[in-house]
Amino acid sequence: MAEVQLHGGPLDGMSVDADETDADPWIAIITDHGTYPGGRALYAPDDTGTWRHVRDLRPEEL
């Protein structure tokens, strides 16, 4: 596990623990600040390793 900073989206600037060694790394964090209150904000690393907002998920999507 490593601490990563999130970029873009509703959780911009937040630091979280993530497993960067996972073959398909991503995190989905519950938030009321996204498009769907009570849903999740999905983040994944880009080609440079920066964790960027991918999209918001409805509560029932995950």
CA distance 13 to 15: 7
Question: Is the predicted pLDDT of residue 40 greater than 80, yes or no?
Answer: yes
User: Which of 38, 44, 32 lies closest to 58, judged by CA?
Assistant: 38
Residue 51: strand pairing partners: 6, 45
Model pLDDT for residues 18-39, shown as the tens digit of each residue: 987 888 899 999 999 999 999 9
Percent of the chain predicted with pLDDT > 70: 100
Percent of the chain predicted with pLDDT > 90: 82
Question: Is the predicted pLDDT of residue 1 greater than 90, yes or no?
Answer: no
